């Protein structure tokens, strides 16, 4: 069997159709758990193997550092580690830093990893008497991010917000303080002024500046287009107008582009994402090949049947085909109060952990629910971690571990995994951050990493992109942050009319519920206090 045939051998017929469609434009509609990452990475490896494109001419784009890391890992296993797999922001930042001296000159500005501190000062500068709690800052930050990806300035914000039916987010509405769209516009203006004063940029600026650079400097635009000639875009339903504008600049008039997405998983409209680019792809490229992935490999038929009911009730997309053997019917837990719900979740989770379930998550609609879930699991003695609660690589102990790995990598030889375990013992064998690094090392070793120096390079790249390894214990996450992930057992907390739906548009909330359900591989629990979510009724669960 040739190398090209080996690349295709592990694919089903639908995935093979994707992998062999090596000339664009190609549009892949991929349902949840249908193996889209496998299909598109094998497509890239196959295109390289049969000589369609050189690996260093490929740019594979996705939306999270974790997804980009997963893509790089699979490409490395397929023997094509030279392919650039990055998020939109990381690809733009790399180009912006490289061409900054030529395009703009001077020192590169500092990059804000969080807006909170600047927003707090911006509120004061705007003359607003607001309590600067994390929820309020998060809501203002979301509005500013929406405005910037829509390419709306602070003086245009109020009109644009009204035209798009923007409303103040739920956490801000609960405040007793007067807070409106005009206040966001004032804070937005002060925030931008403060950034200019401090010579700082945020992640939205990275995209805006890269777009400006490529539009205005032909020589740089030509050099970038010469470098990257073959594009893949994952999660294409989540593209914003600004990201599409950047993609158009990278692509030029060429058509070697493959986009992959699922309209049924569009859950970021509030942040400026739109499925319009995916849905209208064939209008832009009438000769595009359209391929659908529908075989549901992740979940049991019982879970897939619920997911299909959600799709049909909202006319959101096409059914998934159940492939796996049958399992348990999803369990619905109805209780009188949220306190009782938390206690029931904690007890049931503890029982599953004790029985040996290793991969488990508790998902909720809002950030405000996560702390209570964490407290309930802590009281039950269940090890847990809130996803994205902290920046892993900014912890002092993690930095010390990486420094130790950096020093040891110079002399490392032979069994680097054993050397790594011995090295990290001094930091505490039971420390969850040590365990996370060792587990990551084992996974990467299986994917082809063969030395401590190569492992260090992977860690440094993950640190640059804020793509931490999974921490041990039960994961606690919002439905939004759970997108793209999967667990053996999933608890969807707060499946009540209070939280689902939480806001308009109703179909976006229904798609969010669909995303939550399809994270589960074998076991799904849905709990609520009071009135059940109408989505539970639509799915025939109550």
Q: What is the spatial distance between Cα 519 and Cα 388, in angstroms, rounded to a whole number? A: 17
Question: Per-residue confidence of the chain (542 residues) as pLDDT tens digits?
Answer: 799 999 999 899 999 999 999 998 999 999 999 999 999 999 999 999 999 999 999 999 998 888 898 898 899 889 998 999 999 999 999 999 999 999 888 889 999 878 888 999 999 999 988 777 777 888 899 899 999 988 999 999 999 989 887 766 544 444 444 578 899 999 999 999 999 999 999 999 999 999 999 999 999 999 999 999 999 999 999 999 999 999 999 999 999 999 999 998 988 888 888 889 999 999 999 999 999 999 999 999 999 999 999 988 767 778 899 999 999 999 999 999 999 999 999 999 999 999 999 899 999 999 889 999 999 999 999 999 888 645 778 788 888 999 999 998 888 777 898 889 888 888 887 788 898 899 889 888 887 788 888 889 888 878 876 778 888 889 999 999 899 899 999 999 999 999 999 887 888 899 999 999 999 999 999 999 999 999 999 888 98
Per-residue pLDDT at 390: 57
First to last CA, the chain: 52
Tell me the chain's radius of gyration from C-alpha atoms.
24
Per-residue pLDDT at 119: 92
Per-residue pLDDT at 457: 86
Per-residue pLDDT at 1: 77
Tell me the three-class secondary structure of 166-218, residue by residue.
CCCCHHHHCCCCCCCHHHHHHHHHHHHHHHHHHCEECHHHHHHHHHHHHHHCH
The burial of 101, by beta-carbon neighbours within 10 Å (0-12 exposed, 13-18 middle, 19 or more buried), is given as exposed
The pTM for the full model equals: 0.87
Q: How many CB atoms lie within 10 A of CB 309?
A: 18
């Amino acid at each position: 069997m040739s190398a090209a045939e080996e690349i295709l051998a592990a694919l089903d017929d639908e995935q093979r159709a994707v992998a062999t469609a090596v000339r664009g434009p190609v549009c892949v509609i991929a349902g949840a758990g249908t193996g889209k990452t496998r299909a598109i990475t094998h497509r890239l490896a196959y295109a390289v193997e049969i000589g369609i494109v050189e690996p260093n001419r490929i740019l594979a784009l996705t939306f999270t550092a974790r997804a980009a890391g997963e893509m790089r890992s699979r490409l490395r296993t397929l023997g094509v580690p030279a392919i650039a797999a990055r998020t939109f922001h990381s690809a733009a930042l790399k180009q912006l830093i490289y061409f900054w001296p030529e395009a703009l000159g001077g020192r590169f500005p500092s990059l804000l990893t969080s807006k909170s501190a600047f927003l707090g000062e911006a509120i004061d500068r705007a003359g607003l008497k607001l309590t600067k709690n994390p929820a309020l800052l998060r809501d203002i930050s979301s509005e500013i991010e929406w405005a910037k990806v829509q390419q709306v300035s602070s003086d245009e914000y109020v009109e644009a917000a009204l035209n798009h039916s923007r409303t103040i987010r739920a956490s801000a509405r609960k405040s007793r303080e007067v807070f409106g769209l005009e206040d966001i516009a004032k804070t937005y203006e002060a925030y931008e002024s403060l950034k200019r004063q401090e010579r700082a940029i945020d992640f939205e600026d990275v995209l805006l500046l890269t777009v400006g650079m490529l539009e205005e400097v032909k020589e740089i635009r030509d050099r970038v287009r010469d470098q990257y000639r073959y594009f893949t875009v994952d999660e294409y339903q989540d593209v914003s107008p600004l990201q599409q504008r950047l993609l158009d600049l990278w692509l030029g008039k060429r058509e070697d582009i493959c986009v992959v997405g699922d309209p049924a998983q569009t859950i970021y409209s509030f942040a400026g994402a739109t499925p319009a680019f995916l849905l209208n792809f064939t209008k832009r490229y009438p000769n595009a090949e359209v391929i659908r992935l529908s075989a549901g490999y992740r979940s049991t038929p019982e879970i897939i049947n619920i997911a299909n009911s959600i799709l049909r009730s909202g006319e959101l997309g096409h059914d998934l085909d159940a492939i796996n053997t049958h399992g348990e019917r999803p369990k619905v837990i109805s209780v009188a109060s949220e306190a009782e719900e938390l206690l029931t979740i904690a007890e049931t989770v503890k029982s599953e952990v004790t029985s040996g379930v290793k991969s488990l998550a508790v998902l909720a609609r809002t950030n405000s629910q996560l702390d209570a879930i964490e407290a309930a699991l802590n009281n039950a003695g269940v090890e847990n971690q809130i996803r994205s609660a902290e920046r892993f690589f900014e912890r002092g102990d993690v930095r010390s571990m990486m420094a130790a790995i950096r020093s040891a990598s110079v002399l490392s030889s032979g069994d680097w995994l054993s050397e790594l375990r011995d090295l990290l013992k001094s930091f505490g064998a039971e420390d969850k951050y040590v365990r996370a690094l060792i587990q990551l090392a084992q996974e990467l070793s299986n994917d082809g990493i063969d030395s401590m120096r190569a492992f260090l390079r992977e860690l440094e790249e993950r640190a640059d992109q804020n793509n931490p390894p999974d921490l041990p214990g039960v994961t606690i996450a919002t439905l939004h942050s759970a997108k793209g992930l999967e667990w053996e057992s999933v608890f969807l907390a707060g499946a009540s009319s209070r939280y689902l739906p939480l806001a308009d548009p109703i179909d976006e909330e229904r798609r969010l519920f669909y995303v939550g359900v399809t994270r589960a591989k074998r076991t799904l629990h849905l709990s609520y206090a009071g009135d059940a979510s109408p989505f539970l009724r639509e799915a025939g669960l109550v």
